[in-house]
Amino acid sequence: MHPVFRVSKQNIQQLDDSQARELISRLCRAEVRKNNVSSATVSWGGDQRAKDGGVDVRVVIEDKKNITGYIPRNKTIFQVKAVKTFTSASINKEMMKQGKLLPPIANLASDSGAYIITSTKSDVSDSALRDRIASMQSCIAKAGLSGQIHADFYDSQKIADWTEQFPAIVIWIRSVIGQSIVGWKPYTAWAYREDNIRAEYILDDKVKVKAPNSRQLISIEEAISQLRQDLQTTRSSIRIVGLSGVGKTRLVQALFDERIVQEVNALDQNCVIYTDISDNPTPQPNMMVELLLNETQHTIVIVDNCGADTHSKLTELVKRQNSNVSLVTLEYDIQDDLPDETQCYRLETSSEELVEKLVARRFPELTHSDIKKIAEFSGGNARVAFALAGTSEGKGQLSKLENNELFKRLFWQSNTQDENLLRSAEICSLLYSFNSEDISDESELSFLASLCDISVQTLNRHVIALQKRGLIQQRGKWKALLPHAIANRLAEQALENHVSNVLGALFSHQSATRIIQSFSHRLNFLHESDEARSIVCNWLNPGGRYADLNSLDTIGIKIFQFIAPVDQSVTLAALLRASEIEEFISIEKFERSYFTKIAKSLAYEENFFDSAVMILLRFAKVEPSNFTRSPARKDLESLFTCYLSGTLTPPSKRGEIIKKILDDSDEFKIRLGIDLIMSALKTRNFTSYGQFDFGAHSRGYGWQPKNIGDLNEWFSTFITLAHFAGMRPDPVGVELRRMFAKQFRELWACVQIDLSIQLMEVAQVFHSIDGWPGGWHAVQIIKRYDSKRINSDSLERLKQLEILLAPKNLNEEIRVTLFSGRNFFDYDDDIGSNDNKYYRFQLKLEQLGKQCASSDIHLIYELLPDLLKNDNHNNVFAFSKGFSISFGDIETLLIAIKKTIREIESTELDLAFVFGLISGWNERDPGAVAFFLENAVEDDTWSQFFPYLQQAIIIDDYGYERLIKSLTLGNAKIWRFKCLQGGQATSALSAKQMMTLISKIANDKEGATIAIEVLYMTVHNASERTDEYKLELAELCIHFFENFEWMRIDNRNANLSYHIKDILDFTLRPPLAIQNIDLMLSRLIDFERNTYRYRSRVYIKPFFLYHTHKTLDCIYQSDDDGSFSTAIYMMDDDFSFGDDHFFQPPENLVIEWCQVSPNDRCIFIAKICQIFKSRSDDIDEQNKIGLSDIAKSIFAFSDQKEIILKCFIDRFIPTSWSGSKAAIIRNRISLLDELNPNKNQHLQTLLEAAKHDLEMDAVAAAKSEDTQDRSQNERFE
């Protein structure tokens, strides 16, 4: 346990009467919550010295659940004593009155309860403890209740041990005894100017909260319930943002307030700790969370004024496996780039009514008119309201002032007016934050002072004066003028008065880069300032400093992000110019997402929508279909949803945009237009994509339907669009009809609105074009799964539509079954029950194929283009197989197929129909199939796909020869031979034939990976073959790897690496590996020794396991300088634990190897062996449970223990890590005790010295981390 969470008996003994009772109460509540029991089962109160019947804290658990631990029974009462002498003699007086056991104690007998005396001043020995318990039992026995009541006595040491289980209670203990952990607080009044934890939290029904993934603002009551629900589970990360003064901290306090009754119970006050970054906490939040990861109890950590970077690091920590920490961070700044795991809540400003109530409670002397004026001026900001209320000098005075006068009153407060101070404040407000420690000539204070025409010393005095008035906040060396309501107004005044001076000095200062960035951050809030807009226009118009967006560096892009909201039209023009540059929109440009997010934000206003969409189109067009790094396509699609779109553009205009896109000749735009229609037709599961905030602009979620009329307008617009697009006779129409079929169920079953009439009309039109097989499938799904939740009229129309769309002939039945893009065996009643339904469906498909073969011959030729483009692979294969069994003229059909293949784009081609054709044909006429394949291997068209064609049937000796010929000719791409890993087709080949094929594949310049994959499946399928086959295959694998070029394998492909490991494991495992493996091993080791790229040491693991001595001999080769640096570097792997570590040979064999030359070999093993072992596959530091067996064995064997120990110690200090290096070192220190199980004194001396050295390393690391954390945490931007 870290010293931060240690509680001594002396700490407990410092508690007075009331503190002692509160401690036991807190511990009981925490204990029952730990056992998933409500803290309402704990009651307490009164004075310990009172004649209270022997009860200070009572626990009554009515549930049958048996609780264990420090509360031994479901009915337990605690007597708390904080007196210096509480001996055995005192117990009789405490438990008995007039010779009778006190009733509250005696009543415990009926429930087999427990009575416990907790004496916080006592420190008793074992014998004294037994005496006290015996005295308690004697009192119980006198009442004739012996054995019916459990009795125990807790002294200060036991109470300290109990307390250490709950970190939040440790924080409370240290605060009440005057030994607070700097900057950290238990549950108390955390909020600004709050000092009474019992003060009522006034619920404001007008305050709204933007909750995660919610398309509506929610009430404060709903937010409290949702936040409580989120935080009841460990590893949750919550971010609460909102302007300074809107009540974020007070809201968090309310989560633990049991008086606020919601659907979700209040959170446990005894499991929360709080800090404010501005209070310079020690330890820093990163370290505190790291320490809490080692604790077993759930702790909620609240970090106020927490920057986005710090939040991200804290989230990474609390999300670790087995973490018992939940996180809440609060900040006024809104950031888009929060971790995906974060739930972000945005608290809006309070209503004037709530501010009135808060001011009235805090300042009862003010008149109603004063209070009303303050609330109106504050704009819902309680901090501003409190500051202004504090300036009142008499009743009714404030209500008579104009806003400008109110602002001056707010600024001057009760101090004498000083125009120089005001000017300094204006200039300081121009920077979002500034360095307050550096006062040199080149400092930021010097820059600001020059704008005021005063000295740095004078400005510094002004800054201190402003800080005393609460108008400047500090984080470390950084200061900022806050709240924003004041800072932004001062900045506007500064620009009005000093704009020319500011711009003149801004770019000439030595620290210009940071100053400009901070100045731009302030501009971000000033879109209503003419001067701010003028500056941004000057910067972004052609020829301006930041006009060329493509050439901006990282700082320049950050500045652009800040100034983009100030003048949206100028920003839009700059993006339009830049998006015409190929390099700017390229997917290789890492920063592209910053620009697409701004473009999406600009689309909020209707008059900017068209241009913003054009910009996003340009970005999206260059993105491949598998592009996932914040694709612009997602931004575009999100702009066309019914809810959470982030734009005020009405449905009609968005429909016009899609129509223009669909009318374009560009194929990409057309396909995008279809996707946008589908986005618009979503009816549920809406999620926001990105943030809605944009500078200081007032933003909502965008247009959304308020009533049925709006819903009708929305869906009518886009269903009509789909209707006309689906009527097109080109591939666009085909694709639209297919996609619309997938969306059809969602639209028909929409609970908000009945769209069935309009959908019926569209379905009728689509049916007239091609029968619309996808529509028939959609109807079947609705009928099976949604019929009970749609109204009777809609259900009747659905039945009519089913009749219309049902297949009327064989052609339509085939299209419905194969071309709808769906499997329908799950709702096809004709194929029976669920048992083996899929296989019966495949038989039905074969039968359908046979019917087709027996029908009009023209039908199959009509279906060919669709059969060769369909992506429903399994269904087409089964249909094709059935067809070929019954069709006579396969040769002529294959000629037609070959012609059709040439006309289809390779990306759309699917040869499942051809494979099924060959498979079924082979059952009927294998000779004809063999003849076809003999010719296909050299055919211009078929040779490209030959591996697939051959794999459609069992590969015999002739098939093997054809595959060899195909590989020799090289007409088929080498990756197509990966199909040979399917075991059934190659089951007739011998091990030698398979290895010949695999070796020939490997010889291709791009074939190494394919060869390994095929070999892996060959080895995998060998489990079903004879021992002779396995032996031959293992021998051939050895020959294969003797000539294998390891450099051609991408070791970063973890899946491939483990496949290789499994192949080697099969090859080397006795009794198969009877051949000499020297050449095979040496080639691999030579590769590992001479490569400096990413290594996958997993390959070597089987060698160590089955050929330990030989492998160690091969690796243990000295370098030219006589050292073994390369061998050690090659084996270095301190990142793997448990079964993942590659060096896991039998320990006895390692020791045998070391016996040859123990002085040097033991040292080598100490440097390369697995040093730690884990409880599980989890590699989190807190889960390591000890030193590995091999490490302990080599230490015990070696006579050079001091040298071996030094090797281990060097490896105890991580060279690469996640989280706190100091915490990792400290967690490892105690593991050294495992090296001395027999408590050898000399050895213990060595270990203690090593522990001391490690502790010094931990101290140094902690100091470095604290410095680094402060530099990152204690800042405003």
231-253 pLDDT, tens per residue?
988 899 999 988 777 788 999 99
Output the CA torsion 480→483→486→489 (10° steps).
70
248-293 pLDDT, tens per residue?
899 999 999 988 888 888 999 999 999 999 888 999 999 999 889 8
CA 565 centroid distance within chain: 29
List beta partners, residue 330.
Answer: 240
Evaluate if residue 819 carries a pLDDT over 60: yes
CA 1108 centroid distance within chain: 42
How many percent of the chain have pLDDT more than 90?
60
Query: In degrees rounded to 5, what are phi and psi of residue 688?
Result: -80, 145
Hey, what are 606's tokens?
């209707």
pLDDT attached to residue 400: 58
pLDDT attached to residue 824: 55
Q: Residue 119, SS3?
A: strand
pLDDT attached to residue 47: 44
* Greatest mean pLDDT range, 117-126, 339-348, 840-849, 1183-1192: 117-126
Q: What CATH number labels 181-348?
A: 3.40.50
63-111 pLDDT, tens per residue?
777 777 899 999 999 999 998 778 888 898 889 988 899 999 999 999 9
Average pLDDT score over residue span 1132-1158? 79
pLDDT attached to residue 874: 77
Average pLDDT score over residue span 1144-1166? 94
What integer best gives the mean pLDDT of the chain? 88
401-439 pLDDT, tens per residue?
566 776 777 777 666 778 889 999 999 999 999 999 998
Hey, what are 717's tokens?
């617009």
CA distances from 877 to 859, 867, 912, 1013 (A): 18, 10, 5, 24
pLDDT attached to residue 207: 78
Q: Do the Cβ atoms of 29 and 268 come closer than 8 Å?
A: yes
pLDDT band at 1216 (very low <50, low <70, confident <90, very high): confident
More confident residue, 382 or 513: 513
pLDDT band at 821 (very low <50, low <70, confident <90, very high): low
Q: How many helices (H) and strands (E) does the chain have?
A: 57, 20
More confident residue, 194 or 951: 951
pLDDT band at 358 (very low <50, low <70, confident <90, very high): confident
Q: Max alpha carbon distance in the chain (Å)?
A: 114
Evaluate if residue 1097 carries a pLDDT over 80: no
Q: How far apart are CA 1138 and CA 1170, in angstroms?
A: 8
Average pLDDT score over residue span 611-617? 97
Average pLDDT score over residue span 197-206? 80
pLDDT attached to residue 1180: 47
pLDDT attached to residue 1276: 86
DSSP state of 266: P
Evaluate if residue 50 carries a pLDDT over 60: no
791-805 pLDDT, tens per residue?
999 999 999 999 999
Residues with Cβ within 8 Å of residue 78, at least 6 apart in sequence: 24, 28, 55, 56, 57, 58, 59, 116, 117, 118
The DSSP-derived string for 474-510 is: EETTEEEE--HHHHHHHHHHHHHHHHHHHHHHHTTST
pLDDT attached to residue 658: 96
List beta partners, residue 1179.
Answer: none
Average pLDDT score over residue span 799-827? 81
pLDDT attached to residue 1174: 72
Q: Residue 820, CB half-sphere, CA atoms under 13 Å: how many?
A: 29
Evaluate if residue 21 carries a pLDDT over 50: yes
The DSSP-derived string for 388-434 is: HHTT--STTSGGG--HHHHHHHHHHTTSPP-HHHHHHHHHHHTSS-E
Evaluate if residue 456 carries a pLDDT over 90: yes
List beta partners, residue 77.
Answer: 58, 115
pLDDT band at 830 (very low <50, low <70, confident <90, very high): low
Angle at 670 between CA 666 and CA 671, to 5 degrees: 120
Average pLDDT score over residue span 38-53? 67
744-787 pLDDT, tens per residue?
999 999 878 899 999 999 999 999 998 998 999 899 899 988 98
Query: In degrees rounded to 5, what are phi and psi of residue 1267?
Result: -60, -45
Hey, what are 755's tokens?
């769209």
Q: Residue 50, SS3?
A: coil
Average pLDDT score over residue span 604-623? 96
pLDDT attached to residue 360: 87
pLDDT attached to residue 922: 94
Residues with Cβ within 8 Å of residue 276, at least 6 apart in sequence: 183, 190, 303, 304, 305
What does the chain come to in residues? 1277
pLDDT band at 49 (very low <50, low <70, confident <90, very high): very low
Q: How far apart are CA 452 and CA 373, in angstroms?
A: 33
Q: How far apart are CA 661 and CA 634, in angstroms?
A: 16
Evaluate if residue 1093 carries a pLDDT over 50: yes
pLDDT attached to residue 414: 64
